[in-house]
């Protein structure tokens, strides 16, 4: 099938420099992701190769060669420079999965900016929190989303609002219209001289407490992303690759842009709502060969059955991978039946920047297991009490990694203490660099797993209260804070509730303010309140009214108690509970 080598072969004498060889990248060459994903590909004689195949909501189609991506990303880079955006400034990309997103992403990196992609379904509150934290200088968006930006801009240090699609006559105040297709051709652009440690992409991710945290990545991440894309996604020069993730989330940048384009693969994007038929049609029409998707999508396809699969010619598909949530054994078995090959599960996080535990191609698949650590990754599960690596097969502990892989996040923006708290063996006041370089430290992922006698990792669950709905993490704190702003609600605890397709959905347990009844109207009003303030993902699918919420003696709401009740699990140690 390909020349990626067996897992055992790759473990032997592994060195991250292999990534450089695969990219033909030599020390001293410019290390800038924007450049490596466009200019450099053109310089390798692939200027006319298709870089992007795009299909929009109403079926409109466009495709771009690597040379077009090169020239258009130059235009974005120059335009941002002309607007006074400086290297290191955060530039948010806030739009649907339209071509401008993918191309401006490279443009921002080319001029040295830090790309901050945000999910376009975010409403003004979710947007504001992330722009404030990042002290974002400029935002690229579309007319459709301008109203959200207008609502919050007065309170933010955001000085440049650029609209890349829509009607220029609808712009207000100092908003700028920039249509790259009408802009002057920028054939040459001097890229910012970034190096391996220069900040590149800033992704916000939700934690249990506090507001979302900005995981800062660097240009050197490309080596980890490209090598994993080559060895695990098995991306080869002639692949037509479809990563279904939105670049508002890390999969959509690490593998939906960087890994794919650094390897000169043709990247497909379908910017439209999900239906199984539409997805199969897209695979058939574009002859997709490699497909990277998520368990929720796979379970949705599964629900629509194999008969539908048979109506399409999906014979182009040769390799399937999955990420984001536990991939249940049934889904793996079903994919073998439906597509003639299993979806291979991969495990990683926003913080890790690239795949960490994978079903390496060629390795026997144990349905339900995440596979083994990628070559070069030292992974363990740490004892829940002692934090020592567990040697006993099957015993559950915390998934942890030895720092040092290229795509690891370099900090949580302005939250060094939170960064340090993710490392076992690092002092609480350690700088991010000390956390990564100290002897004998582990980065702790926040997930639980066990390792079987063959070295396969089996996911057990998260170690915190973060909710994973359809592969998207949502933080309970962000939703609780918004809920108590609703006039009817006095207190709120947000937990994940089991869901057949999405794995979890958001459930809110609330205490009402005096004088409020919980009828259908109130329920709907609360749901809409969250949807319009945060996002559809954050909207509770169920709201349960309680007389009071379980709390610790110090007044902290015990979500894990509510969650255990919801999942029918043992409630565990309640000695810190306020009262019964």
| Nearest to ligand WT7 of 88, 536 (CB atom) | 536
Nearest distance from residue 27's CB to ligand WT7, in Å? 29
Which of 248/376 has CB closer to ligand WT7?
A: 248
Query: What does each C-alpha distance from 63 to 104, 216, 245, 400, 443 come to in angstroms?
Result: 15, 31, 19, 41, 41
Residue closer to ligand WT7 (CB basis): 160 or 253: 253
Identity of the residue, 141 or 407, whose beta carbon is nearer to ligand WT7 in the bound complex: 407
Determine how many CB atoms are found less than 10 A away from the CB of residue 185: 8
Alpha-carbon dihedral of residues 484, 485, 490, 491, nearest 10 degrees?
10
What span, in angstroms and rounded, lies between the C-alpha atoms of 558 and 495?
10
- For residue 245 the two structure tokens come to 């993730």
Task: Give the angle 516-520-523 at the CA atoms, nearest 5°.
Answer: 65
Question: Which residues are near ligand WT7 by CB under 6 A?
Answer: 205, 249-251, 323-327, 345-350, 370, 445-447, 459, 462, 468, 473
- Between 460 and 545, CB nearer to ligand WT7: 460
Query: Closest separation between CB of residue 146 and ligand WT7, Å?
Result: 27
Q: Nearest approach, Cβ of 476 to ligand WT7 (angstroms)?
A: 14
User: Smallest gap, in angstroms, from Cβ of residue 233 to ligand WT7?
Assistant: 13
Smallest gap from residue 473 Cβ to ligand WT7 (A): 4
Provide the Cα torsion 291, 293, 298, 300; round to 10°: -120
Q: Compute the CA torsion angle 387, 388, 392, 395 (nearest 10 deg).
A: 10
Residue nearest to ligand WT7 (CB): 350
For residue 473, the cross-strand partners are 468
The first and second tokens of residue 271, run together, are: 């910017």
CB of 352 to ligand WT7, least distance (A): 7
**C-alpha to C-alpha distance for 534 and 472, rounded to whole angstroms:** 14
Measure CA of the first residue to CA of the last residue in the chain; give whole Å. Answer: 61
Question: What is the nearest approach in angstroms of ligand WT7 to the Cβ of residue 83?
Answer: 31
| CB closer to ligand WT7 out of 262 and 294 | 294
Task: Name the one residue in this structure whose structure tokens are 């000695």.
Answer: 575
Give min distance, CB of 361 to ligand WT7, in A.
16
Nearer to ligand WT7, 205 or 211 (CB): 205
Q: Which is nearer to ligand WT7, 55 or 504 (CB)?
A: 504
**Angle, nearest 10°, between helix axes 124-134 and 520-533?**
30
């Amino acid at each position: 099938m390909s020349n990626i080598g067996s897992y055992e072969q790759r473990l032997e004498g592994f060195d991250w420099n292999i990534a450089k060889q695969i990219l033909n990248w030599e020390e001293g060459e410019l290390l800038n992701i924007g450049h490596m994903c466009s200019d450099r590909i053109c310089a390798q004689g692939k200027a006319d190769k298709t870089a992007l195949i795009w299909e929009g909501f109403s079926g409109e189609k466009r495709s771009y060669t690597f040379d077009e991506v090169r020239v258009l990303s130059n235009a974005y880079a120059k335009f941002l420079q002309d607007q006074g955006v400086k290297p290191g400034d955060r530039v948010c990309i806030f739009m649907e999965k339209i071509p401008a997103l993918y191309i401006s992403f490279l443009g921002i990196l080319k001029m040295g900016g830090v790309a901050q992609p945000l999910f376009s379904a975010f409403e003004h509150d979710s947007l504001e929190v992330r722009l404030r934290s990042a002290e974002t200088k400029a935002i690229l968006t579309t007319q459709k989303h301008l109203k959200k930006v207008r609502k919050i801009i007065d309170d933010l240090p955001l000085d440049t609002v650029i609209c890349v699609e829509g009607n220029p006559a609808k712009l207000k105040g100092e908003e700028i219209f920039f249509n790259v297709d009408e802009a002057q051709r920028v054939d040459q652009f001097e890229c910012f001289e970034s190096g391996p440690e220069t900040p590149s992409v800033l992704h916000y991710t939700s934690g249990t407490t506090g507001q979302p945290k900005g995981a800062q990545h660097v240009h050197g991440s490309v080596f980890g992303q490209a090598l994993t894309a080559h060895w695990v996604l098995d991306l080869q020069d002639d692949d037509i690759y479809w990563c279904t993730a939105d670049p508002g989330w890390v999969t959509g940048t690490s593998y939906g842009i960087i890994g794919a384009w650094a390897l000169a693969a043709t990247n497909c994007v379908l910017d439209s709502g999900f239906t199984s038929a539409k997805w199969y049609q897209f695979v058939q029409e574009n002859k997709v060969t490699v497909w990277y998707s998520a368990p929720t999508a796979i379970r949705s396809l599964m629900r629509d059955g194999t008969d539908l699969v048979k109506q399409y010619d999906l014979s182009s598909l040769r390799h399937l991978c999955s990420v984001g949530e536990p991939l249940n054994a049934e889904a793996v078995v079903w994919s073998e039946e439906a597509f003639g090959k299993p979806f291979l599960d991969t495990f990683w996080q926003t913080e890790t920047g690239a795949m960490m535990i994978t079903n390496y191609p060629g390795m026997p698949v144990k349905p339900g297991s995440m596979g083994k650590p990628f070559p070069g990754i030292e992974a363990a599960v740490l004892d829940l009490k002692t934090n020592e690596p567990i040697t006993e097969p099957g015993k559950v502990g915390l998934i942890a990694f030895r720092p040092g892989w290229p795509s690891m996040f370099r900090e949580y923006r302005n939250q060094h203490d939170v960064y340090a708290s993710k490392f076992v063996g690092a002092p609480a006041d350690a700088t991010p660099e000390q956390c990564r370089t100290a002897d004998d430290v582990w980065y702790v992922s926040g997930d639980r797993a066990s390792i079987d006698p063959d070295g396969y990792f089996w996911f057990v669950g998260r170690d915190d209260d973060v909710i994973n709905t359809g592969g998207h993490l949502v933080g309970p704190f962000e939703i609780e804070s918004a809920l108590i702003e609703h006039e009817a609600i006095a207190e709120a605890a947000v937990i994940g509730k089991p869901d057949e397709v999405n794995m979890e959905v958001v459930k809110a347990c609330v205490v009402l303010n005096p004088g409020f009844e919980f009828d259908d109207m109130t329920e709907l009003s609360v749901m809409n309140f969250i949807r319009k303030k945060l996002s559809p993902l954050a909207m509770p699918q169920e709201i349960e009214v309680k007389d009071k919420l379980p709390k610790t003696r110090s007044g902290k709401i015990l979500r894990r108690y509510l969650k255990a009740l919801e999942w029918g699990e043992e409630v565990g140690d309640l000695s810190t509970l306020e009262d019964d």
